[in-house]
């Protein structure tokens, strides 16, 4: 009899190991296409600072096409969308790193979530009761607070469970990240470490 393939993951020490039953898994979704994105950098830092016993698997939106109902009708759900849906469905929690555009949600990230909500009768499998944490960074003084608020009606519509245990809005990001978008500010890293510890505890 063929041996069942076991899921493998790479821990922070770089060694692949089978996933123990008590390991929590979070999917991290970054909402920017920019190479040196603050929000992608925030998510990378979150992966480094996620506590032992929890993994943060990083995803982006670069492979997600623009939503087009005609394309959906003709070809169904695109492969990158289906893969991301399955990853979220299998995860214990979702962490969204949202940029803020014009005091709200950036289009590329909303587009991705709109695709992930198709078809409607699959929403409950992907998002139903899923703990969702929001973080974000912007060069302005309010650090994506309006974008994070703007996500709440969307999450409610999807039947997700927004997590309000801690808040992380990273303002004046230009001074906290290096030119490649890596989070270098120790105080912000400490806040992010605390945030991840509490989110991991909440979903664990």
Cα angle at 164 between 186 and 159, to 5 degrees?
130
Residue from 9, 140, 197, 202 binding ligand FNR (CB under 6 A): 140
* Residue 49 to residues 44, 84, 135, 143, 171, Cα–Cα distance (Å): 9, 23, 14, 20, 19
Q: By CB under 6 A, tell whether 92 contacts ligand FNR.
A: no
Q: By CB under 6 A, tell whether 179 contacts ligand FNR.
A: no
Residue from 28, 60, 99, 131 binding ligand FNR (CB under 6 A): 99
Q: By CB under 6 A, tell whether 37 contacts ligand FNR.
A: yes
Q: CB of 42: closest distance to ligand FNR in angstroms?
A: 8
Residue from 51, 80, 139, 162 binding ligand FNR (CB under 6 A): 139
* Residue 35 to residues 28, 39, 128, 147, 180, Cα–Cα distance (Å): 17, 10, 32, 21, 8
Q: By CB under 6 A, tell whether 28 contacts ligand FNR.
A: no
Residue from 24, 27, 32, 130 binding ligand FNR (CB under 6 A): 32
Q: Is the dihedral of CA 181, 183, 184, 187 positive or negative?
A: positive
Q: By CB under 6 A, tell whether 148 contacts ligand FNR.
A: no
Q: By CB under 6 A, tell whether 38 contacts ligand FNR.
A: yes
Q: Which is nearer to ligand FNR, 77 or 108 (CB)?
A: 108
**Other beta carbons within 10 Å of 158:** 18
Residue from 13, 102, 153, 187 binding ligand FNR (CB under 6 A): 102
Q: Which is nearer to ligand FNR, 37 or 54 (CB)?
A: 37
Residues that bind ligand FNR (CB under 6 A): 32, 34, 37-39, 99-103, 138-140
């Amino acid at each position: 009899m063929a041996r069942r393939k076991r899921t493998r993951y790479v821990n922070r020490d770089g060694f692949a190991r089978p996933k123990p039953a008590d390991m929590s898994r979070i999917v991290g979704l970054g909402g920017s296409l920019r190479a040196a994105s603050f929000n992608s950098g925030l998510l990378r830092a979150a992966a480094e600072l996620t506590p032992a016993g929890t993994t943060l698997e990083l995803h982006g939106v670069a492979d997600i096409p623009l939503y087009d109902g005609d394309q959906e009708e003709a070809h169904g759900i695109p492969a990158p969308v289906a893969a991301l849906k399955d990853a979220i469905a299998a995860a214990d929690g979702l962490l969204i790193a949202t940029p803020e555009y014009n005091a709200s949600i950036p289009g590329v990230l909303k587009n991705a979530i709109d695709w992930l909500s198709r078809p409607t009768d699959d929403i409950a499998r992907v998002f139903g009761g899923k703990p969702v944490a929001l973080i974000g960074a912007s060069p302005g003084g309010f650090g994506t607070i309006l974008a994070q608020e703007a996500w709440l009606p969307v999450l409610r519509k999807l039947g997700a469970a927004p997590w309000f245990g801690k808040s992380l809005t990273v303002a004046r990001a230009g001074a906290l990240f290096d030119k490649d978008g890596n989070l270098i500010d120790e105080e912000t890293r400490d806040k992010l470490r605390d945030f991840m510890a509490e989110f991991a505890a909440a979903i664990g």
